[in-house]
């Protein structure tokens, strides 16, 4: 079996995603228990207990989700269509836990001014960050306000310097990889998440840039979180994994004696509510209970991965450089059998 480095994975002849690779422990671990592994990190000058960010989707992140993630040491990005945004702008009681809010390229300046004055991270929420309007909006915000800005999304690192020069502090990596995203089908755009992360990571290294990297899309389980961070991402953005929880916006629906919640893409018909070009789907996913259970599962899985990889902290995990490329049969062999 060949053990691949990040450099070799980046040069692999096929586009790779999380199911195509595995972390390979190649040394004796000095970690006696996964509780010794420290998942704390600094992201955009904020201390996080776990490098998890919620996606600014209307069925994932409202005020309640943002507040709860803040308590758990993660980061919630309030979706820009949420009705509670006005509460936030009014600084009413109960909004103190929100630390990031998404905006569009046409969002009113009064809104951005108010959010910036409250110390919020501004996330310019678009499908394609490689656009002059996105760069202009980022430059405008950074010029006028003292705010950290996230832009997205991109699939490769060729424009990373342009994004940093516009003032972007972090970028979301991934086009077409979300479970309810149909961009790749509709447009033919996008590559596997592993290849996307690596291409951007090496562009950052080569150019000596400071912009922080968010793996956004395609993450289905705690193991994918560990892979994304080991590949070079500073944080992961989750949609489906956090959807369906008690704190996610939307009602719990009972159907066929099972509880469900709605989950839909940001460019789905349910969000746009008009017959224009649709790049997202809408579905129902099982109700999961409180989001703390999901976060704890991610934390446990990541800590366990770190113990296998002899990594006491996330910086040490990123120093590991041993991966395998899996055949389809190898991937299927590792799945639990019922």
Tens of pLDDT, residue by residue over 142-173, are: 999 999 999 999 999 999 999 999 999 999 99
Give the per-residue pLDDT at 94: 43
pLDDT of residue 95: 52
Report, as ranges of residue numbers, the positions in the chain whose pLDDT lies below 50: 93-94, 268-274, 277-278
Q: pLDDT tens for residues 226-242?
A: 999 999 999 999 999 99
Residue 96, pLDDT score:
57
CA distance 301 to 307: 10
Its CATH architecture, for the domain 28-313, is Alpha-Beta Barrel (3.20)
The model's pTM is 0.93
pLDDT at 338: 76
Classify each residue of 140-169 as buried b or exposed e, where b means 16 or more C-beta atoms within 10 Å of its C-beta: ebbeebebbbbbbbbbbbebbbebbebbbb
Residue matched to tokens 């195509």: 20
With b meaning 16 or more CB within 10 Å and e meaning fewer, what string describes 38-64? ebebebbeeebebbbbbbbbbbbbbbb
What is residue 270's predicted lDDT score, i.e. its pLDDT? Answer: 42
């Amino acid at each position: 079996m060949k053990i691949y480095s990040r450099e070799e994975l980046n040069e692999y002849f096929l586009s790779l995603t999380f199911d195509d690779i595995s972390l390979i422990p190649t040394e004796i671990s000095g970690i006696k228990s996964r509780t010794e592994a420290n998942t704390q990190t600094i992201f955009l000058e904020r201390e996080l207990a776990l490098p998890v960010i919620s996606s600014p989707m209307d069925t994932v992140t409202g005020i309640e989700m943002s507040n709860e993630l803040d308590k758990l040491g993660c980061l919630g990005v309030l979706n820009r269509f949420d009705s509670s945004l006005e509460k936030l702008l009014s600084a009413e009681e109960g909004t103190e836990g929100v630390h990031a809010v998404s905006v569009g390229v046409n969002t009113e300046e009064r809104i951005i001014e108010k959010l910036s004055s409250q110390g919020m991270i501004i996330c310019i929420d678009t499908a394609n960050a490689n656009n002059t309007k996105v760069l202009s909006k980022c430059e405008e915000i950074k010029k006028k306000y003292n705010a950290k800005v996230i832009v997205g999304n991109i699939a490769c690192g060729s424009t990373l310097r342009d994004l940093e020069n516009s003032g972007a502090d972090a970028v979301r990596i991934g086009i077409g990889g979300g479970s309810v995203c149909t961009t790749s089908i509709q447009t033919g755009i996008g590559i596997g998440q592993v290849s996307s992360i690596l291409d951007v990571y090496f562009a950052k290294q080569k150019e000596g840039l400071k912009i922080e990297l968010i793996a956004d899309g395609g993450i289905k389980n705690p193991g994918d979180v560990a892979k994304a961070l080991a590949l070079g991402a500073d944080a992961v953005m989750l949609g489906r994994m956090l959807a369906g929880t008690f704190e996610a916006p939307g009602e719990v629906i009972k159907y066929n004696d099972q509880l469900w919640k709605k989950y839909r893409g940001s460019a789905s018909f349910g969000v746009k509510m008009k017959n224009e070009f649709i790049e997202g789907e809408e579905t129902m996913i099982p109700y999961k209970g409180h989001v703390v259970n999901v976060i704890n599962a991610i934390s446990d899985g990541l800590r366990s991965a770190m113990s296998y990889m002899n990594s006491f902290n996330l910086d040490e995990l990123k120093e590991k450089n041993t991966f395998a490329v899996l055949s389809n049969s190898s991937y299927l062999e590792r799945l639990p059998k019922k």
